[in-house]
Structure 1
Amino acid sequence: MTTDSTRTNGKQTTRRPRPLDVSFHDDPRVVKEAANEDYSTHVVPLSWRSSRLSLTMTWYAVISGMFYLVTAATLAVTVGTVNTLIGIVLAVIVFGVVGGALSRYAAHTGLTVALLSQRLFGLAGSVLAPLILAATALYYAVFESSVIAHALHAYTGVLDIRIWYAVAVVTNLPMVIGGVRRWMDKFNGFLLPLYWGGLLVAVVLAAVKYPSKGWLTHVPDSAPDLSAPGWLYALFVYLGVFVFMMYTVDFARFGKPEDSRYHSVVTFGPVFYLFVYLANGLIGIFLVMAAGTSGALSETAIGDTVINLMGISGLVVVWVTQSRINTANYYVASTNLEALFTRLLRIRVPRVAALMLAGVLTYLFMLTDVLSYLLTALAWQGAFVVAWVGIALTHMWLSRHGDRDGLPEFRPGRVASFGPGAIVWLIVSVLGIAVYEGTGTFGTTWSTPLVLVLSIVLYTVAHRLGRPVALDRPGDPRDEVEDIWETRVRCHTCDHSYIAVEMDRDPSTEDGAAICADCAGRSAAFRRAALLEARTAPTGRPADR
């Protein structure tokens, strides 16, 4: 056991920290909470990791969504089918490589987007990450829930649309209460065959009812001014959905390290994107071309086509499609709202309560003229999302050996308030929004790749020249145990035991008692004492002033 040196009233003093209360099995109270909480504000221990099939079925909820079909169909109408398919194939490659890399990193560290962002941007600078991700997930939930509501309203012809909005939200929320390991894998695995089976039936019926020729070679009557070749424009449109990469981190943290190769190829890598972009895209293009739809397409267009072809069976397919993807949207929204309340308000909100709040917010958004501002909001948030991905990938490469123990330092008492990455993130994102809004067609097309490139370049410079984010403090509990992943340490604040990976010593107590990452993140006294200790300890780096 180590002895901590501190400075009190200008005098150097020595104190012997309280011995760690350790165990080598999961705390039953933590396991009970994890059934719903899923370690939303903690590192996921190895004992809570999912099997290959379980995690694959959970993540493949994202594979279904009318959004993908409509996006591909809209691009085919705009730039032609061949250009669209070239863009899709390139998107599969890009998303497959980046998603695979992020999934391996998440499985290795067990960190959420919120926790990882504490290392990238500092403790205060990281607050924006869960806010952006939660808002984006909510906006996508609005899209998918609207499809369900409009389908039910159009098919039944009864009740006010606002009632159907409520039905769409209320029927989706229970599917997410149990979290990744308890329910989402089973629900989405059961419905996956219904999704693909329903779409294939729709394709067969469309082929019989609307014999279509030339849908694979369709070209628009006039080429629009897009400031880029059609295939490159299509690729850039898909890059605008890079929020998938942030979703990937929050889901892939449940993967077992020994399964990383499988998940980086099948679950979160190119195999997944072959289904989500190429297979869905081909179906969407065919259904639109077969039905003779042209011009601007709404997200309900293909859902309406499926219902017209299949009747009530088509309605079931639409519900299955949108409900599956909404499990991912609501899950990400709830976990990041929980992280946001923890960091911003220093209060602990159960994930189920955060989920209910996500449902209420989704319903309120649906009651507004959401389409008048939603696409603009998503474009603005997309700039922050793409910049986050660029910074995260760059950090993974530049700090591939970690800060210590092969991990990034993320603990609330061992990172600065703001890091150079936060400045890069803000500048690049604002610049991307300015280009998008102020340069017409050029900005609409090129703002996303510009943000990605600039985030990589500027973060590389900031990482080399900027002030370190990780703080040196004495008395690290990781030094007092043999296996930081298998040893559980009791937190003096919540009295629960978590793996030593996330534990710290609390310098605001007389004996430096152990404290978990969640309690540390919510304690102002801990934060003040940790910064003082980092600034005054003999081994400390210059800290925040």
Structure 2
Amino acid sequence: MTLNLTGSNDDVEATDALARQGDDDDQMSRGSLAMAWYGVASAFFFVYIGAAMAVAYGTLNAIIGIVLTIICYGIINAVLAKYAINNRTTVAQFSRTILGTAGSSIATIIFALVAIYYAVFEGSIVAYAFMAAFGGEMWMWSLIVVIYSTPLILGGARRFMDKLNGWLMPLYFFGLIAAVIWAGVVYGFGDAWLTQAPEVPLPFAQGGPGWLATFAGYMGVWILMMFTMDYAALGKRKDLKFHQRITFGWLFYVLAYGFAALVGIFLTFTIPGIEASETGLAGGLVSLMGVFGLVVIIASQTRINTANYYLGAANLKSFGERVLRVRMPNIAWVLVSSLIIFLLMLLPIVQYLLLALAWQGVLVTAWVAIALTHVLLDRGRNQEHAAIEDKHYRAFNSNGLVAWAVATVIGIVMLQLGSIDPGLAGVGATWGPILTALSAGAIYAILWRTHPTSRTGLIKVVS
């Protein structure tokens, strides 16, 4: 029997049937999924990055850029969430369509490493807070953080964390509000945090206005688009509108980016001597609020790291099984991922945050632009990706790989402008992510029109 999976109208009907197989019984309830996803909003990194943007470009520019970021994230993630829910597809499964099975392995390992990197970074903040509160060595607290974090993504413990996250979220948000009030009472409520301007007022030194540079800076965190797809794949189709509007929509980013940024900006310009760094803000919070500040940090980082640990291990497993042909139980992959996290925590990884964000931003931004372009051009088609085996996909899909490669080169060249001429560093940082996204989407759209046989990434196989 011949199974035609090349992308014709008949194929669409076949894959539509696949997409409707099964029901929502095994999917997460909308409340559980929303609580699990909102754990991501409590990353202390979001407090830091808002403050860093205000220091670099001024508070007004930072706020304008963050508002535009919230709008952009809300729109893009509503589209990607809808596709992931309707088609039951994760990043690894969807990447087979746009990149081929071999190409998807590249996307999967990048996703795994970025999630692990964030786990290292956020875990280091908890370890630093413990050290600031109780003394001791960083390696010891790092080990403790990894030991208590690992079980939280396993089986029943993970389900428990989904419920506990509902209780931890108010502690995080009200804890930050308490920090603002506390800092204001101790050091005074002024308007310096609202009127902060760059030390050197060169509006176009960063390659454009400060609000555009801020917007481009937040593009370095487009990894959350990939996080969205993996989480949304767990949702019920009947809850689609709720997840588009509430779970993965603008409300989430108002809390994650808007609220956190305002807190970070206020604390940075209110507490004397505090640095606009994540460790600086965490240390300042512990110094200001004592044990309560430590509790707020532990609550926030524990919530976000359940997502980082889970996605890191899940994508590491996908890469290991597909490329390395290594088959192990889930718990084994979790332990391997946790060991990597601990070893990396022994390195001064926090110092390389901005560099890591810039490089990952190129690869991830290009992938997101291609994924979004594919979804918009492929409207009306449905493929339940998990129901289609790897053997039905091309090893390499030239449409996506060419677009990804060219856009990545453009982004890297832009990032290297500063090494050619220091005066161009701001131009590269601002326009690098933007040109990466635009070129990836444009090239993929052109190839979509000129190479229609590669649109679905599927091949004709005989079984």
Larger radius of gyration: 1
Match of 1:341 among 312, 320, 325: 320
Query: Does 1:226 find its partner at 2:206?
Result: yes
Letter in 2 for 1:196: F
Q: Is the contact between residue 242 and residue 386 of structure 1 (CA under 8 Å) also seen in structure 2?
A: yes
Residue 143 of structure 1 aligns to a residue in which SS?
helix
TM-score (norm 1): 0.76
Report what 2:232 is aligned to: 252
Question: Which segments of 5 or more consecutive residues in structure 1 lack a partner in the other structure?
Answer: 6-42, 475-506, 508-545
* Counterpart among 306, 317, 330 of residue 351 in structure 1: 330
RMSD of the alignment, in Å? 2.2
Q: How big is the shift at 1:405? A: 6.0
The amino acid across from 1:175 in the alignment is L
Greater shift in the superposed pair: 339-348 or 320-329: 339-348
Which one of 200, 214, 218 corresponds to residue 177 of structure 2? 200
After superposition, what is the alpha-carbon deviation per residue over 1:66-120, rounded to whole angstroms, capped at 9, x for unaligned?
2111111111112111111111110000001111111111110111100100111
Percent of aligned positions that are identical: 38
CA distance in 2, matches of 1:181, 1:153: 27
The answer on whether the counterparts of 2:93 and 2:386 sit within 8 Å (CA) in structure 1 is: no
Which residue is equivalent to 1:465?
450
Q: Give how far 1:375 is off.
A: 3.7
Q: Relative contact order (C-alpha < 8 Å, sep 6+): which is higher? A: 2
The 3-state SS of whatever aligns with 2:348 is coil
1:306 aligns with 2:294: no
Counterpart in 1 of 2:407? Answer: 428
Does structure 1 conserve the Cα–Cα contact (< 8 Å) formed by 2:88 and 2:384? no
1:2-41 equivalences under 5 Å are: 3=1
Distance 1:351 1:452, change over 3 A: same
- Name 1:82's counterpart in structure 2: 60
Alignment of 1:483-494 (within 5 A): none
**SS at the partner of 2:461?**
coil
How far apart, in 2, do the equivalents of 1:239 and 1:179 lie? 35
Offset of residue 212 of structure 1: 3.2
What amino acid is the match of 2:343? L
Change (3 A) 1:405 1:207: closer
Task: Number of aligned residue pairs: give it.
Answer: 434
The answer for the alignment partner of 1:378 in structure 2 is: 357
| Structure-2 residue corresponding to 1:172 | 149
Q: Which amino acid aligns with 2:166?
A: G
Q: Which residue of 2 aligns with 1:322?
A: 301
CA positional deviation for 1:374: 5.0
The amino acid that maps onto 2:460 is D
Q: Please report how far the alpha carbon of residue 378 of structure 1 lies from its aligned counterpart in structure 2 after TM superposition.
A: 3.4
What are the residue-to-residue correspondences of 1:48-197 with 2, within 5 Å?
48-158=26-136, 160-178=137-155, 182-197=159-174
* Alignment check: 8 A CA contact 2:60 2:195 kept: yes
TM-score by length of 2: 0.89
* Partner Cα distance (2:233, 2:395) in 1: 25
Matched, 1:332 2:320: no
Indicate whether 1:213 and 2:213 are aligned.
no
Contact 1:175/1:187, CA 8 A, preserved across alignment: no
Matched, 1:292 2:272: yes
Match of 2:344 in 1: 365
Question: What whole-Å deviation, never above 9, does each CA across 1:422-459 have from its counterpart, x for those lacking one?
Answer: 12212211321122123522111111011100010000
Asked whether the 8 Å contact 2:415–2:429 carries over to 1, the reply is: yes
Superposed CA offset, 1:245-287 (max 9, x none): 0000000111111111111111111000000011111111111
Give, as a single letter, the amino acid of the residue that structure 1 aligns with 2:373.
Answer: T
Indicate the residue corresponding to 1:264 in structure 2.
Answer: 244
Relative to structure 1, the CA distance from residue 44 to residue 248 in structure 2 (aligned partners, 3 Å threshold; closer, same or farther) is: farther
Contact kept in structure 2, 1:126 and 1:422, CA below 8 Å: no
Contact 2:41 2:252 (C-alpha < 8 Å) held by counterparts: yes
